[in-house]
Amino acid sequence: MFTKLLFPPVCPLCDKVVKIDEEGKLCRNCTGRARPFTGPACLKCGKLLTDDEEAYCGNCRKNSFHFRKCHITFLYEDEVRDMLVKFKYKNRKDMARFFANESLGRFKEVLGKAGIDAVVPIPIHKKRMKKRGYNQAAEFGKLIAQELGVPCLTELLKRTRQTAAQKELGAVVRLMNLMDAFEVDKTWLLRVREAGIKKLLLVDDIFTTGSTLECASIKLTECGFPEPDCLSISGTRGIG
Ligand SMILES: [Zn+2]
Ligand SMILES: [Zn+2]
């Protein structure tokens, strides 16, 4: 309670102080300014479809991701991009509440039906963790896990190599670049197996080509987990 008085909740977009019971919501002025990722979407990767496509996008008709389905909450544009920058780089861990509330508002029911046993956030490298102090995907994942009533496994998947910004690389190169950047922790794998955990929900902040979630899905399915579901806070319009 005292922390809330010293650090009152603020609107995640304009940073105006809001009432305690309005924590994790946009203020009245900002309501509607974060654009949801909606419209006809690919049944597999969740990306928006163009007119001539039906159930699956062109990419998913050609290659199949190793995850079952990806759910995307916001369009990675304008205000949402600004909020994600604060969340990732400006020490604004508190933004996780807003992103989790909005994602659960959209997907809690489908995620409930998917029979998720645990949430696995996409890890960041320990050097980056040291610098930043937290992993934004894990902060988000913990709140999602709490609501679904399952554990959040922040140690199962490790980032073994720091990867450079990949924006300018194509999907295939990105994937090759990432393949040895993730590793499944052996000790945790045993624990997770003993606990009978099978169906995982991978969570991340941005879905661009899908190569990060794909790479993590490959590593986890290789360890015997069924195809995970994925939840991404945001997604770009197209692949690339
Ligand atoms: Zn606001
Ligand atoms: Zn697709």
- CATH number for position 101: 3.40.50
Does pLDDT of 3 surpass 70? no
Residue 217: is its pLDDT beyond 70? yes
Q: In this structure, are strands 229-235 and 157-159 parallel, antiparallel, or unpaired?
A: unpaired
What is the Å distance from ligand 2's center to 169 Cα? Answer: 19
| Residue 109 pLDDT > 70 | yes
Average pLDDT of span 33-59: 88
Residue 166 lies in a domain: yes
Q: What is the mean pLDDT of residues 51-61?
A: 83
Q: Is residue 197 a part of any domain in this protein?
A: yes
Q: Which of 13-27, 30-44, 193-207 has the highest mean pLDDT?
A: 193-207
User: How many Å lie between the centroid of ligand 1 and the Cα of residue 77?
Assistant: 17
For residue 66, is it within any domain?
Answer: yes
**What is the average pLDDT score of the chain?**
91
Residue 17 is assigned to a structural domain of this protein: no
Which pair of tokens denotes residue 141?
């994942």
Return left, alpha or beta for 91; rule: phi > 0 is left, psi -120 to 50 is alpha, else beta.
left
Alpha-carbon distance of 3 to 231, in angstroms, equals 30
Q: How much is the pLDDT for 240?
A: 47
Q: Is the pTM of this model over 0.85?
A: yes
Give the ligand with the smallest distance to the CA of 209: 2
Is 140 part of any domain? yes
pLDDT of residue 147: 96
Q: Which domain holds residue 206?
A: 23-235
C-alpha Rg value of the chain to the nearest Å: 18
Taking the centre of ligand 2 as the mean of its atom positions, its distance from the CA of residue 227, in whole angstroms, is 15
What percent of the chain shows pLDDT beyond 90?
Answer: 72
* Count of structural domains, the chain: 1
Q: Is residue 15 part of a domain?
A: no
The set of residues, in sequence order, having a beta carbon less than 8 Å from that of 83 and lying 6+ positions away, is 12, 13, 34, 95, 98, 99
- Name the 3-class secondary structure at 4: helix
Which ligand is nearest the CA of 63, by number?
2
Ligand nearest to the CA of 98: 1
- Judged by its nearest atom, the ligand closest to the C-alpha of residue 235 is 2
Which helix (DSSP H) or strand (DSSP E) does residue 139 occupy?
helix 136-148
* Per-residue pLDDT band at 5 (split at 50, 70, 90): low
Q: Is residue 205 part of a domain?
A: yes
How far apart are the CA of 18 and the centre of ligand 2, in A? 38
Is the pLDDT reported for residue 230 higher than 70? Answer: yes
Distances (CA, A) of 53 to 7, 8, 170, 178, 218: 48, 47, 22, 29, 26
Q: Which region, left, alpha or beta, applies to residue 164 given φ > 0 means left and ψ of -120 to 50 means alpha?
A: beta
Mean per-residue pLDDT, 45-52: 85
Residue ranges of E strands in the chain: 69-75, 118-121, 157-159, 182-184, 200-207, 229-235
Query: Going by DSSP bridges, is the β-strand pair 118-121/200-207 parallel, antiparallel, or unpaired?
Result: parallel
Say whether pLDDT at 184 is over 80.
yes
Asked, for residue 202, whether it belongs to a domain, the answer is: yes
Q: What are phi and psi of 230, to 5 degrees?
A: -130, 150
Q: Which ligand is nearest to the CA of 57?
A: 2
